[in-house]
Each structure stands twice: as structure tokens, then as C-alpha cells.
Amino acid sequence: MQAVEFKNRFLLQQAVAATMMQLPAGMQPKQSAVLVPIIDYGDRLQLLFTQRALHLQHHPGQISFPGGKLEANESPAAAALREAEEEIGVNAKDIELLGQLHSYNTLTGFEISPWVGLLPASAKIRFDPQEVSAVFEVPLNYFIEPANRHQLWLPWKGMPRQLHFMPYQDKLIWGATAAIIQQLVQQIR
């Protein structure tokens, strides 16, 4: 899939409703945002992932998209772009922000606002080792193939919870990151 076809599919489709987890009564989710960075190589599109540094308090070592908590008076789009610049060194002016997928609630009490952005192949990736231990890319077409996307239903606090996971080579993409990919793929199909 090339960038023009991806943009048309993404922008012309109604956003697919995400499976929203019900949080326990009285729990207010922490607002956060991520950038779903898609690198445009002309003949192919690649999703860019980070692997979180092992010393981090939340989700150490997990595979994720660049992102984090919103700062005071910050929009989710601005937070996604700021976090991408902080974590992977890509300047916001080099990102073509296409739009937002539905927010996703996590088991750990975060409400994630995912923003999809195209990066040129020339974008310089310089990750911050204080936040990121590695970056890697996966072809978008890999996730379009249904056999590469898996789900399980597990009980959580007396309610069923859908867990998404997507193995790729020696990596396991799971949880909120995999759920966001699932939502993206459903929207562009």
C-alpha cells in the first residue's frame, strides 16, 4: 500500500469504534496521547515502534508508539507531536498529521488518544535512551493480514477484557499498542 491509497482509505472512512474497557467506578483515567508514526518509503509504508527503556516506572521494556501524558492545557494532538519529538527526535513540522483514532482505555488507568501521522523516509530518527531502548519498523501490510493479528478474551475484575497481540519476528506487540493497530487496520480496510 502506498501513501496516497492509505490517506484516502484513512480519511474517507468513518472511524471504527474501539472496544472501550469500562474502568472501575470512580476511577478517572489519566489523559495521554500517542503518535502512530507511519514512514512513507514511496513504494511501501512502515509502522515505527519504540521499545520502552527498562528503567521506566510504567510499562518498562514494552513495545509502544511514542507518547505520554498530556501537559496542562495541551491538546492530545500537540501531546502526540511533542512526545514524538522527545522520544524519537522527529520534528513536528516533518509529520503530516492525518487524524485521530478513537481513544482507548487501558487496564492501568490511561485514556490514550492515538494520532496517525505520516513521516517522510528522510525523517531522522534519534531516540532518547532515557525513554526508549530501541526503535524498529514493521511493514503496514504485515498487520493488514488477519493471520498476524490475534485476540483473547480474559476476565478482569469480573468482566471480560479483549487482549490484542501481534508477534513479529522476535517482538511481541500487545495490549494497547496492538489494539490501536487493530483499530487502524479496521479503518483502512
**Could you please report the per-residue DSSP string of 10-34?**
HHHSPPPPP-PPPPPTTPPPEEEEE
How high is the pLDDT of residue 18?
46
pTM over 0.75: yes
Question: Max CA-CA distance within the chain?
Answer: 48
How high is the pLDDT of residue 163?
82
What grid cell was written down for 114?
492515538
How high is the pLDDT of residue 160?
76
What grid cell was written down for 115?
494520532
Q: Domains of the chain by range and CATH?
A: 3-17+31-140 (3.90.79.10)
Cell 493471520 maps to which residue?
147
- Amino acid identity of 20? M
Average pLDDT for consecutive 10-residue bins of the chain (189 residues)? 81 55 64 96 96 76 91 95 95 94 82 94 92 94 95 78 88 93 90
Quote the CA–CA distance of 174 and 153 in Å, as a whole number: 13
How high is the pLDDT of residue 149?
93
Quote the CA–CA distance of 75 and 77 in Å, as a whole number: 5
How high is the pLDDT of residue 2?
85
How high is the pLDDT of residue 145?
95
